[in-house]
Structure 1
Amino acid sequence: MYKLIIRPILFLFDPEKVHYFTFSLIRVLCKIPFVPDLFRSLYQVKDKKLERTLFGLTFKNPVGLAAGFDKNAVLYNELANFGFGFIEIGTVTPKGQIGNPKKRLFRLKDDQGIINRMGFNNDGLEVAIQQLKKNKGTVIIGGNIGKNTQTLPENYTTDYLECFKGLHPYVDYFVLNVSCPNVGSHAKLNDKAYLLELISACQKLNNQQEKQKPILLKIAPDLNNAQLDEIIELVAETKIDGVIASNTSTTRDNLKASKERLQEIGNGGVSGQPIKNQSTKVIQYLAKHSNKSFPIIGVGGIHSAEDALEKIKAGADLVQIYTGFIYEGPSLIKKINKAILSN
C-alpha cells in the first residue's frame, strides 16, 4: 500500500514539506486511541532472539532509525510504534539554527537516493531536552550531537560538551557527529589529533556523571584505508564504545541522475542505495582490520532485508535505516527483523 499509493502521492511534493507533513500526520494518527496498537500489530516483531546487548544496553531488536529524521526529538514515541529497536535523535547543536538555505533536500528517484545539505537545522539543545522529558521509555534513544555552524574551531569541543552535558540524563547513548559534509568547514573534525581531544573531553565529562553513557563516533563513507586505520587506532587508544558507519557521501560516482540534474542540485551528502556498497566496504574493513574489537552500527543504503543482512555479514552488530524508510515505508523494519530471525 505504501509503495503503490502513499509514496507516489508524497513524491509529487517538495521533500522537506513532505517530511513535516508526514510528521504531523503520524502525530495526529497516534492520538487516535486504537491507531498506535494497530501500528504495533502491523509492524512490530517481538522475539527474544532479536535482542542484542552492546555497550551495556539491551536492544529489543537490531534495527534502528538513523539521526536526521527526528532532529528535534518530537516524534520518537510515535515512531517507536513502527517496531524500531532504537531511535537516534538529532543532530542537536547547542543553539537552534535554521541550517542552509532552501531548497536543500532532493530525491534521486532513479537511484533510490537522496541528496541533502540541511546544515544541522534544529531547534537547539533546550528544545530537545524538553521533548525528551516526554519519553515514555518504550525504545532506546541515542543522542546525536554536533557543533553550531558559526562556532569557531577553537570552540568546537565546547559545543559538543554543552550538548553532552545537557542531554546526558535523557538519552541512552551518544553519537559524536564529526562527518556531516553539510556544516561548512569540518576539516578539523576529521583530524585524528582533534578527534582524540574531543573524545577524551567527552569521556572525562562522562566519567564525572553518576551513570556513564556509551559514546560512539559517526564516520564518513569516503574515508580511505589509511584514514580507516586511524579510526581503528583511535578506538583502541580512547576505548570509545563503537563506530557508526556511515554518514552521507560527497561522491557522485555511478549515479543514474544526469550531470545536468546533479549540477542543478549542487552540493550535499548522498544517502540511500548509491552509498550502499561504499558503506558496506567501510564496515567490512573496520571489522576485519580491528579483529572485530568494537561494535559497529551499519547504516547506508539499506532498502531491503537483504541489504541489512549484507551489513550484518560485513560486521555490523546493529543497523540503521533512513532513506530506505522513506522509499520503502515502515514495513521495511518488520521485513529486516523477520529475515534476521530466519537466518
Structure 2
Amino acid sequence: MSYALLRPFLFNMDPERAHDMTLALLEKAHKARALGFIYGQQSLPVESMGLRFSNPVGLAAGLDKNGDYIDALAEMGFGFIEIGTVTPKPQEGNAKPRLFRIKQAEAIINRMGFNNKGVDHLVENVRRCQYKGNIGINIGKNAVTPVEQAADDYVYCLERVYPHASYITINISSPNTKNLRDLQSGAALTGLLNTIKERHSQLATEFGFYVPLVLKVAPDLDDEQIDYIAKQLLDFEIDGLITTNTTLSRVGVEDLPFGDETGGLSGRPVSQKSTQVLQKFAERLENQVALVGVGGIDSGDKAVKKIQAGADLVQLYSGLIYKGPGLVQSCIQAIGGYYDALEE
C-alpha cells in the first residue's frame, strides 16, 4: 500500500531522480528499522552453483550499481542481491537524460553506460555491509578501454572483488558501452573467457576458496550464437548463466512515447524473448550450468515461467519499478506453490 501511494509521485519525476530518491527513502526506512516489519522474510531454500540461497528470488544488477544500499535492499526479502555493473575506474556514464519509462507497456529504456564510482568504492561498501546472504558482483569494462583490451579491465575487477563476492558476473551484454556485445561471439569470447578463467583459477588457489563465475548475455542472440556460447560455458566450466540483459528490439513499444530512444529495453516487452533464450540455453546445457532467469518478471506467474523454462534462480528489476517491493514476496510464494505442486 505504501508503494502504491508513493508511485504516482515518483512517476511524475525524472526517472533517474526518482531512482535516486527511492533508494534514499529506502535507506532511511532501513535505518528506522521499518522494512523488515513491512516485508518480512520468506524461506524457500535453494542450492545452486555450490551456494545456498534462502529463496530463489534475487535483485538484478543495475539497481544498486555501487553497493551503497545492500542492507536496505536485503530487507525487502530477496534471496540474493547482485550489485554493479562496476568498472575499474569511476565513470560518469552516458549523457543525461538516459533513463525513460514507457508506462503504457510497463517498460524502461536505459542507456546509462555503466555509471559507477569504481570497483574500490564498491568493495568498501561490501566490506561494511551487515547482510549475510549471497552477494553477486557484476563486473564490466570502462568505456575508454578498447574492446581489444577488455580482458584487462575484467581481470582487474575480478582480482579486487574475488574475496568479497558470493559469485562474480561477467557482463558482456550491455548495449550501452560501445562494442561490448562483440565479446559475446567467436574468438573474442573464447579469448576473454580463457584469460578470466586462468586468473580465476589462480585466485581460487591463492585464497583457498572457490567463487563461482557467471556470464550475463543478451536476448538478441540467434541460434548459432546460443550454440557457441553454450559450448564455451561448458568448455571453460563457467558456473552460471544469466539470461538475459536488455534488448535492442523495440517490439511492444513501437509508436509509444520514448519508444524510439536508444538504449536497452527492459520490462514487460522483453519477457517472452528472454524466456525463449533461457529455454534454448537450458536445452543445450542440460543442467550442467546454473541458469538465472531475468527479464520482464512482473508477477509470480512470470517468475514461475522462468523456472519452468529451466531457471534455477530468478532476478527482478524493472518489475519492481512498476509493481513495487511486494513483487518479491509474490514471486517467492508462486515459485513455492509450483514446487509444492510438482511434489504432489
> Does TM, scored on the shorter chain, surpass 0.5?
yes
User: Structure 2 matches for 1:23-42, cutoff 5 A?
Assistant: 23-32=23-32, 34-39=33-38, 42=39
- Look up the match of 2:116: 122
In 1, the alpha carbon distance for the partners of 2:154 and 2:57 equals 26
In 2, the alpha carbon distance for the partners of 1:291 and 1:144 equals 25
SS in 1 for 2:63: coil
Residue of structure 2 aligned with 1:306, choices 277, 295, 301: 301
Q: CA deviation at 1:175?
A: 0.4
Q: What's the CA shift string for 1:115-137, capped at 9, x where partnerless?
A: 00000000001111111111214
Q: CA deviation at 1:200?
A: 2.0
SS in 2 for 1:122: coil
CA contact (8 A) 1:80 1:138 kept: no
Q: Quick one: structure 1 residues 256 and 155, their matched pair in 2 at CA, closer, same or farther if it must change by over 3 Å?
A: closer
Q: CA deviation at 1:291?
A: 2.4
User: Structure 2 matches for 1:111-260, cutoff 5 A?
Assistant: 111-209=105-203, 210=207, 211-255=209-253, 257-258=255-256
- Look up the match of 1:262: 259
Corresponding letter in the other structure for 1:312: I
CA contact (8 A) 1:217 1:244 kept: yes
Corresponding letter in the other structure for 1:66: A
Q: Quick one: structure 1 residues 36 and 112, their matched pair in 2 at CA, closer, same or farther if it must change by over 3 Å?
A: closer
CA contact (8 A) 1:115 1:270 kept: yes
- Look up the match of 2:311: 316
In 1, the alpha carbon distance for the partners of 2:66 and 2:30 equals 18
Structure 1 residues without counterparts, runs of 5 or longer = none
CA contact (8 A) 2:245 2:294 kept: yes
CA contact (8 A) 1:192 1:234 kept: no
Q: Quick one: structure 1 residues 261 and 30, their matched pair in 2 at CA, closer, same or farther if it must change by over 3 Å?
A: closer
Corresponding letter in the other structure for 2:36: D
SS in 1 for 2:192: helix
Give the RMSD, CA atoms, in angstroms. 1.4
SS in 2 for 1:243: strand
In 2, the alpha carbon distance for the partners of 1:247 and 1:201 equals 23
SS in 2 for 1:275: helix
Q: Quick one: structure 1 residues 100 and 274, their matched pair in 2 at CA, closer, same or farther if it must change by over 3 Å?
A: same
Corresponding letter in the other structure for 2:124: Q
Q: CA deviation at 1:3?
A: 5.6
* Mapped pair 1:45 → 2:39: no
In 1, the alpha carbon distance for the partners of 2:234 and 2:254 equals 39
- Look up the match of 1:332: 327
In 2, the alpha carbon distance for the partners of 1:38 and 1:262 equals 38
Q: CA deviation at 1:256?
A: 5.5
Q: What's the CA shift string for 1:39-98, capped at 9, x where partnerless?
A: 3xx34212xxx2111111101100000000000000011110010001000000000000
Q: TM-score, normalised by structure 2?
A: 0.94
Q: What's the CA shift string for 1:286-330, capped at 9, x where partnerless?
A: 111332321110000000000000010010110000001111111
- Look up the match of 1:81: 75
The alignment covers a number of residue pairs equal to 334
In 2, the alpha carbon distance for the partners of 1:156 and 1:122 equals 17
CA contact (8 A) 2:175 2:181 kept: no
- Look up the match of 1:66: 60
Q: Quick one: structure 1 residues 154 and 222, their matched pair in 2 at CA, closer, same or farther if it must change by over 3 Å?
A: closer
In 1, the alpha carbon distance for the partners of 2:181 and 2:331 equals 36
SS in 1 for 2:154: helix
CA contact (8 A) 2:102 2:258 kept: no
CA contact (8 A) 2:105 2:252 kept: no
In 2, the alpha carbon distance for the partners of 1:3 and 1:75 equals 18
Corresponding letter in the other structure for 1:18: A
Q: CA deviation at 1:187?
A: 4.5
Q: What's the CA shift string for 1:228-253, capped at 9, x where partnerless?
A: 11111111211111110000000001
Corresponding letter in the other structure for 2:330: K
In 1, the alpha carbon distance for the partners of 2:333 and 2:181 equals 41
CA contact (8 A) 1:117 1:268 kept: yes
In 2, the alpha carbon distance for the partners of 1:37 and 1:64 equals 16
Q: CA deviation at 1:257?
A: 4.5
